Structure 1
Amino acid sequence: MTKEQQLLKERLQSIEARIQAACDRANRKREEVKIIAVTKYVDADAIGDLLAVGVENIGENRVQDALPKHQLHGDKGIWHFIGHLQTNKAKEVVGRFPYIHSLDRLSLAQELNRRGEALDHVVKCFLQINISGEETKFGLSPNDVLAFLRETSNMKHISIVGLMTMAPVVENQEEARQVFRGLYEWKQRINEMAFPHAQVEELSMGMSSDFEVAIEEGATYIRLGSVLVKPE
């Protein structure tokens, strides 16, 4: 094991203890929560180290940076596209990334559906909802969610398997709790309505500064950057 891998393993052990404690507080099973390593600031070698120490899920934010990394390691982990996705870049993502966490508008849904149809492939998406209402964040307004689901209900090549949100950056992670709770409530609401293309099982929420509260509120994927992956 290299020095870099040993450091990663030690960070993972620390994170694991925090995840387990949060699961215990929420009476949840540890296996319900999966770590996505956010690798936008590190190179392909660092991704190789993450995979070597047992990290399975890799999250990339920018298509142009992700493609060369995916070329080297795409067959070794489960790749998630977690950044804002421009419609004209969808063709680069569909077929490479099993999960897209940033479905946030009708034009993107139409393009993902079209690309999925061309590949005879169902694109697994997370619907991004801007629970906090911050103008600086992407995502559908909660007021637009049901209309969006109705408009996309006939798209046979996209499947909304989860929801994603980002909480405000705050010093006290307790201040993010209501945002995460709001996303969990949307999961329940959508599932009650039984849309054929939106059977929501996953919640992608929580980052390095607030993942423990996100777990307590139902996160199934937490997106960890700085607490796990240290860029040079």
Structure 2
Amino acid sequence: MSITQHIEEIWQNIEQASLIRQQRTLEERPVKLVAVTKNHGTEIIQKAIDSGIQAVGENRVQEALSKQPILGRQLEWHLIGHLQTNKARQAVPAFDLIHSVDNEKLALEIDRVAAKFGKRQDILLQVNVAGEATKFGIAPEQLQKLVHFVTELKNVQLCGLMTIAPHYEETETVRPVFRELHNLFVELREARLPNTNIQWLSMGMTNDYQIAIEEGSNLVRIGTGIFGTRQ
């Protein structure tokens, strides 16, 4: 199938999963599709853009910086990979939404850099729901402390939560992970804290995005499902 056909199929799946969610909760929320473009060249990414993709996600700051002069900033640029504190200076002007904030030091540096650029940087807090040692993200029990720290920062706006779920052979096994993050998201949204605009629950990738949407995700990050296996 072509990239256009892949994207059409994904949107159909998103619509079906959203309908299941809506029937269960009576909550209707549109889903944002972020195309994960790591290790893909600008020509193939442009094909996705021509097929309606409006948001792209990169794992590394440098890779985004190399592509932006060609693809432009009219796209939404999302940083979905781990961000080292010393890369915040480059990341803040380059990204509309940083998904992977998981500690106070990084949040503070993003705030400092954003102030220099006269920008209020939108961020998500990455939560390691499953407690995997190989993944970044804050533990759920430490989330509240980080939330309150971030809400004191003037040049950062907390917009929601993100997780990278474990990979299971049986995808249904991942459902409790998504459900737990959704519960944390609802608590955060209902708290109505200052300096927040809680609207994005970023969870779900190629293998599990339909389950993630059924459990409340409204932002999915899909690479292989659009572009095929990375080279």
Partner letter of residue 118 of structure 2?
A: D
Measured in 2, the distance between the counterparts of 1:30 and 1:96 equals 31
Partner letter of residue 162 of structure 1?
A: G
Aligned CA distance change for structure 1 residues 23 and 191 (closer, same or farther; 3 Å): closer
Shift of the alpha carbon at 1:31?
6.4
Q: Indicate whether 1:59 and 2:52 are aligned.
A: no
1:95 match: 93
1:14 match: 9
88-97 vs 145-154, greater mean Cα deviation = 145-154
Aligned CA distance change for structure 1 residues 196 and 30 (closer, same or farther; 3 Å): closer
1:189 match: 187
Q: Which runs of 4+ in 1 moved over 4 A?
A: 28-31
Partner letter of residue 139 of structure 2?
A: S
Aligned CA distance change for structure 1 residues 30 and 77 (closer, same or farther; 3 Å): farther
SS of residue paired to 2:226: coil
Measured in 2, the distance between the counterparts of 1:31 and 1:46 equals 30
2:44 match: 46
Alpha-carbon contact 2:202-2:219 (below 8 Å) kept: yes
1:3 match: none
Shift of the alpha carbon at 1:30?
7.9
Q: Indicate whether 1:135 and 2:133 are aligned.
A: yes
Measured in 1, the distance between the counterparts of 2:32 and 2:104 equals 28
Q: Indicate whether 1:157 and 2:155 are aligned.
A: yes
Listed one character per residue, the Cα deviations across residues 72-93 of structure 1 (whole Å, up to 9, x for unaligned) are 1132311101000011111111
2:78 match: 80
Alpha-carbon contact 2:151-2:157 (below 8 Å) kept: no
SS of residue paired to 2:93: coil
Partner letter of residue 23 of structure 1?
A: S
Aligned CA distance change for structure 1 residues 33 and 48 (closer, same or farther; 3 Å): same
Partner letter of residue 71 of structure 1?
A: P
Measured in 2, the distance between the counterparts of 1:106 and 1:55 equals 33
1:198 corresponds to which of 169, 181, 196: 196
Shift of the alpha carbon at 1:187?
1.0
Partner letter of residue 49 of structure 2?
A: L
Measured in 1, the distance between the counterparts of 2:40 and 2:120 equals 30
SS of residue paired to 2:198: coil
Question: Please, which runs of 5 or more residues in structure 2 have no aligned partner?
Answer: none
Measured in 1, the distance between the counterparts of 2:169 and 2:33 equals 22
Partner letter of residue 221 of structure 2?
A: R
Shift of the alpha carbon at 1:194?
2.6
Question: Please, which runs of 5 or more residues in structure 1 have no aligned partner?
Answer: 1-5
Shift of the alpha carbon at 1:27?
1.6
Q: TM-score, normalised by structure 2?
A: 0.93
Measured in 2, the distance between the counterparts of 1:96 and 1:13 equals 28
1:217 match: 215
Shift of the alpha carbon at 1:132?
0.8
Partner letter of residue 118 of structure 1?
A: K
Alpha-carbon contact 1:51-1:76 (below 8 Å) kept: no
Listed one character per residue, the Cα deviations across residues 129-168 of structure 1 (whole Å, up to 9, x for unaligned) are 1111111111111111111122232201001101100111
Partner letter of residue 100 of structure 1?
A: I
Listed one character per residue, the Cα deviations across residues 166-188 of structure 1 (whole Å, up to 9, x for unaligned) are 11101222111111111111111
SS of residue paired to 2:94: coil
The alignment-based identity, stated in percent, is 36
Alpha-carbon contact 1:20-1:30 (below 8 Å) kept: no
Shift of the alpha carbon at 1:191?
2.4
Shift of the alpha carbon at 1:65?
1.7
Alpha-carbon contact 2:35-2:226 (below 8 Å) kept: yes
